[in-house]
Structure 1
Amino acid sequence: MTGLRAAAESYLVMRRTLGFKLTDQGRALMRFVDYCEAHHTDHITTDIAVAWATDTPHSSDEVYWSRRLMVVRIFARHLQTQDPATEVPPPDMLPHHKRRIVPYLYSSQQIAALLDAADGLAPALRAATWRTLIGLLAVTGMRKSEACRLDREHVDLDAATVVVVDSKFGKSRRLFLHPSAVTALRDYTIRRDALMPNPSANSFFVSTRGTRLDVQNITHTFADLLDTAGIAAPPGRRRPRMHDLRHSFAIAVLSDFYRGGGDVQSRLPVLSTWLGHVDPKSTYWYLQAVPELLMLAASRLEDAFGESI
Structure 2
Amino acid sequence: MANFNDFTFISGFASDIEAFIKLKHGLGNIYYSPSIVLKSFDNFCYENFKNKDILSKDIVMAWYKLGVDKHLTPKTLRLNMTPISHLAKYQCDKGEKAYIFPTKTLPPEKGYTPHIYSREELIRFFNVTDNCHITPQNPNRHLIMPVFFRLLYSCGLRVSEATNLLTDNVDLESGILKIMDSKNDGERLVPLSKDIHERIKKYYELVHCNKHHKYFFPSKTDDPIKYMNIYGNFRRFLRNAEISHGGKNHQIRIHDFRHTFAVHCLRNWVLEGRDLNTCYPYLKAYMGHTLFRYTAYYLKITAEIYPMIGETLEKTYPDIIPSYGGAEYEGF
Shorter-chain TM band = 0.7 to 0.9
How far apart are the structure 2 equivalents of 1:295 and 1:9? Answer: 55
Matched, 1:25 2:52: no
Give the secondary structure class of the aligned counterpart of 1:232: coil
Indicate the residue corresponding to 2:8 in structure 1. none
Give the secondary structure class of the aligned counterpart of 2:312: helix
How far apart are the structure 1 equivalents of 2:180 and 2:111? Answer: 26
Matched, 1:292 2:305: yes
Number of aligned residue pairs: give it. 301
Q: 2:87 aligned to 63, 72, 75, which one?
A: 75
Q: Residues 209 and 7 of structure 1: is their aligned pair in 2 closer, same or farther, counting only changes over 3 Å?
A: closer
Deviation (angstroms), 1:232:
0.9
Q: 2:273 aligned to 261, 268, 279, which one?
A: 261
Give the secondary structure class of the aligned counterpart of 1:217: helix
Matched, 1:168 2:183: yes
1:70-219 residue pairs with structure 2 within 5 A? 70-82=82-94, 84-90=96-102, 94-95=105-106, 97-123=108-134, 125-192=140-207, 197-198=210-211, 201-207=213-219, 212-219=224-231
Deviations 1:169-227 (CA, angstroms, capped at 9, x unpaired):
33221111222222222222333358xx336x233234566664223422111111111
Indicate the residue corresponding to 1:233 in structure 2. 245
Indicate the residue corresponding to 1:64 in structure 2. 76
Q: Which amino acid aligns with 1:299?
A: T
Give structure 2 stretches of 5+ with no counterpart.
2-10, 319-332
Matched, 1:220 2:229: no
Q: Is the 8 A contact 1:106 1:245 kept in 2?
A: yes
How far apart are the structure 2 equivalents of 1:288 and 1:301? Answer: 9
How far apart are the structure 1 equivalents of 2:206 and 2:112? Answer: 37
Deviates more, 1:184-193 or 1:204-213: 204-213
Indicate the residue corresponding to 2:324 in structure 1. none
Indicate the residue corresponding to 2:282 in structure 1. 270
How far apart are the structure 2 equivalents of 1:294 and 1:15? Answer: 46
Deviation (angstroms), 1:111:
1.8
Indicate the residue corresponding to 2:58 in structure 1. 47
Deviations 1:49-73 (CA, angstroms, capped at 9, x unpaired):
2332342465442443244223322
Q: Residues 202 and 29 of structure 1: is their aligned pair in 2 closer, same or farther, counting only changes over 3 Å?
A: closer
Give the secondary structure class of the aligned counterpart of 1:245: helix
Q: Is the 8 A contact 1:118 1:128 kept in 2?
A: no
- The runs of 4+ residues in structure 1 deviating greater than 6 Å are none
Deviation (angstroms), 1:279:
2.5
Give the secondary structure class of the aligned counterpart of 1:55: helix
Deviations 1:110-165 (CA, angstroms, capped at 9, x unpaired):
22212221222222842222111111111111122222222333222321222222
How far apart are the structure 2 equivalents of 1:152 and 1:55? Answer: 42
Give the secondary structure class of the aligned counterpart of 2:225: coil
Q: Is the 8 A contact 1:233 1:239 kept in 2?
A: yes
How far apart are the structure 2 equivalents of 1:266 and 1:127? Answer: 40
Give the secondary structure class of the aligned counterpart of 1:198: coil
Q: Is the 8 A contact 1:148 1:214 kept in 2?
A: yes
Q: Is the 8 A contact 1:139 1:249 kept in 2?
A: yes
Q: Which amino acid aligns with 2:118?
A: S
Deviation (angstroms), 1:246:
0.9
Matched, 1:36 2:51: no
Q: Is the 8 A contact 2:130 2:142 kept in 1?
A: yes
Give the secondary structure class of the aligned counterpart of 1:162: strand
Q: Is the 8 A contact 1:141 1:246 kept in 2?
A: yes
Deviation (angstroms), 1:245:
0.8
Q: 2:257 aligned to 221, 230, 245, which one?
A: 245
Give the secondary structure class of the aligned counterpart of 1:97: coil
Give the secondary structure class of the aligned counterpart of 2:13: helix
How far apart are the structure 2 equivalents of 1:304 and 1:175? Answer: 27
Give the secondary structure class of the aligned counterpart of 2:211: coil
